């Protein structure tokens, strides 16, 4: 099993290009994307799943959503960003009938004022996940995460 140590590739350029920061695990054989990207003060995440450390999906939908939020917390911690800085969320549900359950757990994670959000039902997700989420957040290099 590949070691999931986070690697940062930081490229700093002058002028209007701004600063870049990518976060990716070392498992580049199976993972062909970065977990997040910071550019010009904005954090962009890839789609986040509710997988555990062995990449397994929990049996219950509620557990999967809680694990998804835990995985988001890990990304925010790596990027040194507080969740209150998230301003946009995109959610994909493989069963849109689960939206009420998802919203209940979402309200326990986020608090008003909520980020803007798009939530769509889809036919299928990677690894047979039932939920996937990506976020945009404000990045301030001078701020400490909490």
pLDDT (tens digit per residue) in 106-128: 999 999 999 999 999 999 999 99
* Helix or strand (DSSP H, E) at 69: helix 61-79
> pLDDT category, 141, cuts 50, 70, 90?
confident
The CATH code belonging to domain 21-138 is 3.30.1330.40
**pLDDT digits over 27-71, tens only?**
556 678 888 999 999 999 999 999 998 999 999 999 999 999 999
Residue 67, both tokens? 């694990």
* DSSP strand pairing (131-138 vs 86-93): antiparallel
Per-residue pLDDT, 34: 86
128: alpha, beta or left, given left = phi > 0 and alpha = psi -120 to 50?
left
For residue 92, which of 119, 63, 129 has the smallest C-alpha distance? 119
At residue 129, φ and ψ (nearest 5 deg) are: -65, 155
- Residue spans per domain, the chain: 21-138
């Amino acid at each position: 099993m590949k070691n999931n140590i986070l690697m940062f590739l930081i490229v700093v350029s002058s002028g209007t290009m701004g600063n870049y920061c990518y976060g990716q695990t070392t498992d580049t054989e199976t993972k062909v994307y970065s977990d997040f990207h910071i550019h010009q003060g904005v954090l962009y995440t890839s789609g986040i799943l509710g997988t555990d450390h062995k990449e397994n999906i929990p049996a219950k939908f509620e557990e999967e959503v809680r694990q998804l939020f835990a995985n988001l917390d890990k990304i925010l911690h790596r990027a040194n960003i507080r969740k209150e800085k998230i301003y946009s969320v995109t959610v994909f549900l493989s069963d849109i009938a689960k939206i009420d359950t998802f919203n209940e757990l979402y309200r326990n994670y986020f608090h008003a004022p909520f980020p803007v959000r798009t939530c769509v039902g889809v036919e299928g997700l990677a690894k047979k996940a039932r939920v996937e989420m990506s976020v945009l957040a404000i990045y301030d290099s001078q701020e400490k995460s909490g």
